[in-house]
């Protein structure tokens, strides 16, 4: 009989959550992790970026304090202290996860796991790796120093993802970094080019721009955050431009070269040019982290991009082997990894559950913040829905006025006949918190009428969902209805 009921490989928000749930279900669980628990999210992603973005936000608020009747002098950024604060938060949270694993009776094994069969891994000491602040990162390959063999009845692969390399010349020059490398910067760069205008790229762009860096974002698509509703991407582009960030869309980087003390990024597209920079941050995507994992020995296949295909119970094609999180390529988000982890653990514990991806909220922590759930207007129309759209501006909310943060809007996509909510898209203050109402609306198949009838506290940012729903019903209260004929209202 195997020593463990379940072996989890990888301790990110997918793996550690799965391990805890499985232990709570009474399984004997082992988790192998080659770095610190918490994965990319806690160590190199969600949390450290948001900690630093908060510093940028505080800097901007204090810098504009006189607008609020507060006098300040000589407001400065202490970048070393910004990084120290971030490191402290990451340390606390990763220790917290280690403590939770221990408290739930999960056996944590430090090292690099490599499959020797579908239910067996050999754990090796993790190899040496570059050191950024916060600790070692992505040991390229395990050492050949074996630690132990682990066998279990069921296995969950939760090894996550790593930054995808940029396939252009000069991408390996010193000063060309990924998101991970950005955590190693000890000084605020004077000139930064960010390649890729999706969530990771625009968060770093906004952060350094707030600290005074001259930032250019180069994006291949015709707008920033191209996965978002088209109006959101356009609005972020306008906002970034207004903040002094240069936005270069419909542009492709053809190569990077040395230029004097810095770097030159050659860009092709509607506006071909060369951009000079001190640092070039590549944020063009992620690839599955399956290096030296021995998937062949487990018999687990991958798709053309290297991700592990799974069904709605997170089963791979191999019996007793499951995969969750970024390595499945479903939606590269921490909360999706965690929900997949909960589902896989429950399935393994004998529960009849499956995962449903149709209401996944996502947030991008730029200023203004972005969040969305469900279908974009274009996707809804392409799927054959006859839709109504409803928009409401933050500027018309008393709360936004009093806080002094009025940029942006909320947009609802709903079915034209029954008014069922199909998608919610927000750019503006607290978007990442407000989106939960949208996710709940889609999950519960709520309609515009139900959103409008729900009493929302005043004065709050949350009122925007109700006000947008009223607008979609043609009954707006706090904005003027659109005119149809001179003097008439629609």
Which chain residues interact with ligand FAD by CB under 6 A?
A: 9-15, 32-35, 39-41, 44-46, 49, 112-113, 158-161, 179, 200, 289, 293, 325-326, 332-335, 337
Name the residue nearer to ligand FAD (CB basis): 34 or 385: 34
Name the residue nearer to ligand FAD (CB basis): 126 or 446: 126
The Cα 317–Cα 329 span in angstroms is 16
The Cα 202–Cα 200 span in angstroms is 6
User: Minimal distance in Å, beta carbon 393 to ligand FAD?
Assistant: 25
Return the number of other C-beta atoms located less than 10 Å from residue 402's C-beta: 10
Give the torsion sign (CA, 466, 469, 473, 478). positive
User: Minimal distance in Å, beta carbon 46 to ligand FAD?
Assistant: 4
Residue 199: φ, ψ to 5°: -50, -50
Name the residue nearer to ligand FAD (CB basis): 25 or 50: 50
Q: Which residues have C-beta within 8 Å of that of residue 103, sequence separation ≥ 6?
A: none
The Cα 432–Cα 370 span in angstroms is 7
Q: Which residues have C-beta within 8 Å of that of residue 304, sequence separation ≥ 6?
A: none
Name the residue nearer to ligand FAD (CB basis): 41 or 435: 41
Question: Residue 452, preceding bond cis, omega within 30 degrees?
Answer: no
User: Minimal distance in Å, beta carbon 383 to ligand FAD?
Assistant: 25
Q: What is the dihedral of CA 100, 101, 104, 108, to 10 degrees?
A: -160
Q: Is 66 exposed, middle or buried (0-12, 13-18, 19+ CB in 10 A)?
A: exposed
Name the residue nearer to ligand FAD (CB basis): 150 or 452: 150
Name the residue nearer to ligand FAD (CB basis): 53 or 469: 53
- Counting Cα atoms < 13 Å in the Cβ hemisphere of 458 gives 8
User: Minimal distance in Å, beta carbon 65 to ligand FAD?
Assistant: 28
Q: What is the DSSP string of 232-283?
A: HHHHHHHHHHHTT-EEE-SEEEEEEEEETTEEEEEEEESS-EEEEESEEEE-
220 close to 254: Cβ distance less than 8 angstroms: no
Name the residue nearer to ligand FAD (CB basis): 160 or 233: 160
Q: Is 315 exposed, middle or buried (0-12, 13-18, 19+ CB in 10 A)?
A: middle
Name the residue nearer to ligand FAD (CB basis): 15 or 393: 15
Q: Is 195 exposed, middle or buried (0-12, 13-18, 19+ CB in 10 A)?
A: buried
Angle between helices 463-472 and 431-443 (to 10 degrees): 50
Q: What is the CA radius of gyration of the chain?
A: 24
User: Minimal distance in Å, beta carbon 224 to ligand FAD?
Assistant: 16
- Counting Cα atoms < 13 Å in the Cβ hemisphere of 57 gives 15
User: Minimal distance in Å, beta carbon 300 to ligand FAD?
Assistant: 13
User: Minimal distance in Å, beta carbon 137 to ligand FAD?
Assistant: 9
User: Minimal distance in Å, beta carbon 10 to ligand FAD?
Assistant: 3
The Cα 33–Cα 16 span in angstroms is 10
Which residues are known to be catalytic? Answer: 458
């Amino acid at each position: 009989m195997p020593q463990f009921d379940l072996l989890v490989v990888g301790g990110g928000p997918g793996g550690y959550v799965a391990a805890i749930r499985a232990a709570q279900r009474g399984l004997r669980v082992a988790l192998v992790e080659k770095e610190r628990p918490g994965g990319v999210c806690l160590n190199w992603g969600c949390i450290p970026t948001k900690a630093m973005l908060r510093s940028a936000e505080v800097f901007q608020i204090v810098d504009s304090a006189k607008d609020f009747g507060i006098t300040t002098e000589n407001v400065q950024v202490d970048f070393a202290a910004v990084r120290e604060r971030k490191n402290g938060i990451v340390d606390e949270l990763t220790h917290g996860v280690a403590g939770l694993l221990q408290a739930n009776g999960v056996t944590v094994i430090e090292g690099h796991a490599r499959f020797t069969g579908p239910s067996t891994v050999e754990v090796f000491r993790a190899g040496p790796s570059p050191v950024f602040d916060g600790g070692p990162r992505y040991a390229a390959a395990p050492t050949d120093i074996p630690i132990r063999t682990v066998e279990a009845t069921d296995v969950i692969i939760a090894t996550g993802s790593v930054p995808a390399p940029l396939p252009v010349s000069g991408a390996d020059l010193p000063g060309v970094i990924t998101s991970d490398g950005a955590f190693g910067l000890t000084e605020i760069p004077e000139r930064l080019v960010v390649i890729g205008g999706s969530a990771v790229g625009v968060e770093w762009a906004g952060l350094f721009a707030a600290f005074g860096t001259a930032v250019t974002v180069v994006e291949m698509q015709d707008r920033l955050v191209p996965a978002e509703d088209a109006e959101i991407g356009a609005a972020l582009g306008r906002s970034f431009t207004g903040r002094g960030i240069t936005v270069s869309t419909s542009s492709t980087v053809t190569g990077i070269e040395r230029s004097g003390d810095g770097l030159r990024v050659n860009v092709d597209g509607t506006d071909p040019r060369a951009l000079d920079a001190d640092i070039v941050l590549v944020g063009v995507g992620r690839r599955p982290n399956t290096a030296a994992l021995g998937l062949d020995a487990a018999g687990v296949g991958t798709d053309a991009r290297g991700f592990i295909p799974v069904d709605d119970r997170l089963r791979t094609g191999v019996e007793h082997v499951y995969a969750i999180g970024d390595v499945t390529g479903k939606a590269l988000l921490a909360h999706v990894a965690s929900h997949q982890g909960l589902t896989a653990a429950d399935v393994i514990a004998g529960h009849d559950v499956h995962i449903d991806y149709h209401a996944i909220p996502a947030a991008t922590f730029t200023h203004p913040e972005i969040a969305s759930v469900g279908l974009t207007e274009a996707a809804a129309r392409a799927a054959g829905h006859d839709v109504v759209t409803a928009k409401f501006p933050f500027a018309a909310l008393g709360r936004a006025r009093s806080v002094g943060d009025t940029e942006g809007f909320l947009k609802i996509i709903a079915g034209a006949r029954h008014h069922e909510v199909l998608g919610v898209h927000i750019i503006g203050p607290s978007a990442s918190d407000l989106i939960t109402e949208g996710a709940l609306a889609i999950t519960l198949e709520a309609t515009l009428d139900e959103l409008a009838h729900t009493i929302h506290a005043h004065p709050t940012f949350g009122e925007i969902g109700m006000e947008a729903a009223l607008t979609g019903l043609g009954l707006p209260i706090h904005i003027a209805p659109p005119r149809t004929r001179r003097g008439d209202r629609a």
